[in-house]
Structures are given as C-alpha cells and as structure tokens.
Structure 1
Amino acid sequence: MAANTADSSPPRISLITVCWNAEQTIADTLRSIDAQSYRNFEHIIIDGGSRDSTLAIIASAPAENRRMLSGPDGGIYEAMNKGIGLASGNIIGFLNADDTFESSDSLETVAATLENEAYDGCYGDLVYVSNRHTDRKVRYWKSRAFKSGSFARGWCPPHPTFYVRRSVYEQFGKFDLRYRLAADVELMMRFLEVARIRTIHIPRVLVRMRLGGATNKNVHNISRQNKEVLSALADHGFKVSKSMFWASKIVNRFGQFLMRNRSQELLR
C-alpha cells in the first residue's frame, strides 16, 4: 500500500481507550496519557456502561483533547470500532484501561516514526507487569520486523503498540467481530499479511500491560484465542501446520519470560 505523501505536517494521533468497570486501573492510564510530551493527539474513551466509579474517575481528569462515549456495547472490539468511527486523526492507536505508556515520550516516538510517509504503520515492544505491582516485570514481548508468513508461525506484533494510518482502516476495514478474542490478531494479520501495508518496528518498549486481560486471564481463553487465530489464517487462505504453530507459540512465550531478566537492563 502506498502511503499518502500529500500532508507533510506532524501527524495527529487518535488514541482510543476502551473500558468497562475499570476503576482499579483507569486513573493510571489517564495519568500516563496526560503525561505525554507529544500533544498533537486526541483521546477518545469508549466506555461500555460502567457501573462502578470508572466514569467518576474519568470526569475528575478532564482534558481539552479528551472526549468520552458511554453506553452498552457488544464487547471490546465493537467498542474499538466505535472509537475508530469517531477518530479524526490521521494515525490511530489504542491504549486499554489497564495499560500505561512506558515513558512520557512514547507517543512522540510513534509520531516521529510516522512522519516518514513511506510507512503506513509502526509497532514497538511491550512489557507485561504484575496486576498489583506494576514495577514488577513478568514478560518482555520483544518484537521484530515483519516477515511474510510470520502469523502462520504464531507471531504477531503487540497490539497495544500498533499504530496505523486512518486510511488503512478506511481501505481494509475495522475489527472483525466474528472473532471474540483474536480480532486484534486477525486485523493485524489482514493488514500485514494480506494487504501488505508497510510497517516499521520501533525497537523499544512503548507500553506496560497488566496481566489478567481478556485473552490472557486463564488457559481456556489463551487456547480459545489461538484457535481463533488458526481459523483466521484459514479464512485468509493461509496453509498452516498446526504443530509448527503451537510449537512456535510455546518457544516464543518461553523466550518472553527469559527476556524478563534481560529487560531489567534494557529498560534502564
């Protein structure tokens, strides 16, 4: 996909946060966003009709570039699609209500990278942290440059670090709601493997993600998500060795836990 070279101004980012009953974590997410050095962004919050104090916490942290839509939805990916529909920036990314940016220049790094119109998107690295002790690193998700066929080997970028131009969504579609736990993986697969958008890997940690999200909170969900990924690969016409897929997944995850100790040095 050829990037649009007509606009050379600094990119405006639409940052989308979806949440539901997130009173335990949403304040950390908002502080992380408000601390960003790059200011040419809008923050769109899509709330699923929270019944705890989430809405009150959001109301207590007003910002000129922040707007919120609250009401029932069909789940996280439907909420993300709502956010995309409201986005006015030319770059779109997500930061969930239990995630935080690794540093105050995370968005600045994304913006500087995508000032280069040769790229349609970018992504970085991610560190998983303890749900209660966010200074305790559990897994280090070190990504790499995309290579064709990677998704069939169990690879994908960390979605919370994934930023693409709004034109990519307009051309190739939003999240496919048939996938309840793997719509983010399917979307990145569709963009990278099928549409072959041009992306670049940023070799640094951009986001801290708490353990315990929908896809990694238990073995059942992890298994179900990966079965959905295999279904998505088949739907897109990719031939996959299931044994290679699962073996690569296991090796990759084991490596992420080993990288935890090394990341103590890399993240200083």
Structure 2
Amino acid sequence: MKISIITSCYNREVTIRDSIRSVMAQDYPDIEYIVVDGASTDKSLDIIKGEEEIIRGNGFTASHPMFTMKVISEPDSGMYEALNKGIRMATGEVIALLHSDDTLYDCHTISDVVSEMERTQCEFLYADGLFVDAEKTDKVVRNWIGGRYRKWKVRHGWLPLHPTCYIRRDVMTRLGLYDESYRIAADTDLLVRYLLENDLRVTYLKRYVVRMRMGGLSTDNSRRAKMWKEDIRVYSSHGFRHVTLTKIEKMMWKVPQFIMAKFM
C-alpha cells in the first residue's frame, strides 16, 4: 500500500527540515512525499531542495528504494489550494497530511497506520496527536485523544484531529477535496462532509501519530475570531440546527486536552 504524505509550506525555514526528516525516518518502505511550497520568500525552498538532494542520493535510495519525493513551488491562495494541488498529484492509495510546523510522532508511525488500515479494511483512519510548545517541543500543551467515532458526536461539534487522518484517495476523489473559499475551516468542512454525511468505514487507532507546534493556522489567537465565523458558516451550510451551540460544543470537546496535558 503506497502512502502519499502531503506538506504545504510557506516561509517555514525554521521548521520545514524537521517535518521532512520525520518522513524520511519512517521504517515503512512505500511512501510518496509531496511538498507544495507557496513560493516562499525565506530559505524554505533552499532547505526543501537540499533535503530532496539527500533523498535522491545513493545512500538514502539504497536503503529506501521505494521512497519518492516530489516538490512544487509556485504562488497559491493559501494552504488549502496547496493541499488540493498535492492531492491531485498523489498516486498513493492513502492520503495523509503533515503540516510544515509538525513532525510524525516516531519512525513506526506509518507502519502502524498501514497495519491497522489493512487489518480493518477501513476507508478513513484517525488517531491521537500532541500539541507541543513552539519553542520547547518536549513540552506538551494539548493532549488530543481522538476517542471512538460516532455520528452523534460529529453533530455535537466533535471531529478528529485533522493531521491524524489517513483517507483513501478514491474516497477523496469521490467526495471532493477542500473547499478553498474557506481560509481556516476547510478541514472542518471536509471532515463534516466525510464523517457525518457519508457512511465510510472509519477506524480509530489509539496511538499518537503527530506532534504539532502550537501557533499554526487555527491555533494562532489572532485568527480565532475568523475561525469562529468560518465554523459557523460550515455548520450552517451543512444544515446544523443550532450552529452557535455546536461551535461552543466543539470548543468544550477540547477542554480535557489541556487538562490532560498538565499531567504529562
């Protein structure tokens, strides 16, 4: 089973190397890694190209003969356009996302995901993730435990953590990609479409698969007001009856994550 991992990047020279190397470190052999850079103006593209050269070198290809990396760099309108570009380029059976501030949890992450997808024959897998301090990455800020999937939970604001989701490419082709009219909440819209309005074979893998630095597109405090408006729009567009209440419920699902992190 080939896994296509997509990273969108714009001016992330401080973190992008860590993201790439966490993919390179995987012990699963059949990975297609796609980096979509939005014409960065810092050193991001130089770093990406440097890592690509390492991957194409004899040492890495000898030990990872099935690993491929594709890089595209051109202006885009934002993260979701970049992700859609990457998905359309992908040839793997399963699509995964890794943001340019984040890293895969450990070197066995993809192997364990594939084993569970093959065991359950699911179409959509999600797991657990850690939010860590942007500077002190060993300090856990939020402990996101996905828990069991139930449609009633989605109706009440629950969704899995987006970067823990592994989705079969034929499902994404059939159900549609990210709605680029959203700047922040296109992932919420996609997950509601997939998990509430369709009957996919969904499985939960109880293990951490990603470390996310706080301060990303949806965790930046300056963007929370815009995210509120976009979430309300998502819920309205999907016919939720009490959209403001659902948004509040979504926030309440997150409270235990911060509490659990205090004990880690």
Quick check: 1:89 aligned with 2:92?
A: yes
Q: 2:140 aligns with which of 117, 137, 140?
A: 137
CA distance in 1 between counterparts of 2:194 and 2:23 reads 26
CA distance in 2 between counterparts of 1:221 and 1:54 reads 23
Cα shift at 1:72: 0.1
Q: Could you tell me which amino acid in structure 1 is paired with residue 15 of structure 2? A: T
Question: Which residue of 1 is the match for residue 41 of structure 2?
Answer: 51
CA distance in 1 between counterparts of 2:181 and 2:123 reads 25
The aligned length equals 251
- Check the 8 A contact 2:126/2:165 in 1, yes or no: yes
Quick check: 1:19 aligned with 2:14?
A: no
Question: Which residue of 2 is the match for residue 102 of structure 1?
Answer: 105
Q: How does 1:96-175 map to 2 (within 5 A)?
A: 96-116=99-119, 118-175=121-178
- Check the 8 A contact 1:131/1:212 in 2, yes or no: yes
**Superposed CA offset, 1:160-213 (max 9, x none):** 111100001111000011221100111011111012212111111110000111
CA distance in 2 between counterparts of 1:40 and 1:251 reads 39
RMSD of the alignment, in Å? 1.5
CA distance in 2 between counterparts of 1:14 and 1:146 reads 24
CA distance in 2 between counterparts of 1:159 and 1:109 reads 18
* Stretches of 4+ aligned residues off by more than 6 angstroms: none
**Superposed CA offset, 1:28-51 (max 9, x none):** 111111111112110000000011
- Check the 8 A contact 1:181/1:215 in 2, yes or no: yes
Quick check: 1:231 aligned with 2:233?
A: yes
Cα shift at 1:241: 5.2
Tell me which protein shows more helix as a share of its residues. 2
- Using structure 2 for the length normalisation, give the TM-score: 0.91
- Check the 8 A contact 1:152/1:245 in 2, yes or no: no
Question: Which residue of 1 is the match for residue 64 of structure 2?
Answer: none
Question: Which residue of 1 is the match for residue 75 of structure 2?
Answer: 72
Quick check: 1:255 aligned with 2:245?
A: no
SS of aligned partner of 1:149:
helix
CA distance in 2 between counterparts of 1:94 and 1:152 reads 24
Identity %: 36
Q: Could you tell me which amino acid in structure 2 is paired with residue 256 of structure 1? A: Q
Q: Could you tell me which amino acid in structure 2 is paired with residue 109 of structure 1? A: D
Cα shift at 1:55: 1.1
Quick check: 1:205 aligned with 2:188?
A: no
- Check the 8 A contact 1:21/1:50 in 2, yes or no: yes
Question: Which residue of 1 is the match for residue 23 of structure 2?
Answer: 33
Q: Could you tell me which amino acid in structure 1 is paired with residue 225 of structure 2? A: S
Q: Which runs of 5+ in 1 are unaligned?
A: 1-10
SS of aligned partner of 1:131:
coil
SS of aligned partner of 2:114:
helix
Q: Could you tell me which amino acid in structure 1 is paired with residue 121 of structure 2? A: A
CA distance in 2 between counterparts of 1:136 and 1:157 reads 22
SS of aligned partner of 1:122:
strand
**Superposed CA offset, 1:60-98 (max 9, x none):** 212241110000001000000000000000100100110
CA distance in 2 between counterparts of 1:67 and 1:213 reads 24
Cα shift at 1:117: 5.9
Cα shift at 1:147: 0.9
Cα shift at 1:227: 2.8
Q: Which runs of 5+ in 2 are unaligned?
A: 57-67
CA distance in 2 between counterparts of 1:241 and 1:159 reads 21
Cα shift at 1:118: 3.1
Shifted more, 109-118 versus 68-77: the winner is 109-118
- Check the 8 A contact 1:152/1:233 in 2, yes or no: no
CA distance in 1 between counterparts of 2:6 and 2:251 reads 31
Quick check: 1:192 aligned with 2:182?
A: no
Q: Could you tell me which amino acid in structure 2 is paired with residue 180 of structure 1? A: R
- Check the 8 A contact 2:142/2:261 in 1, yes or no: yes
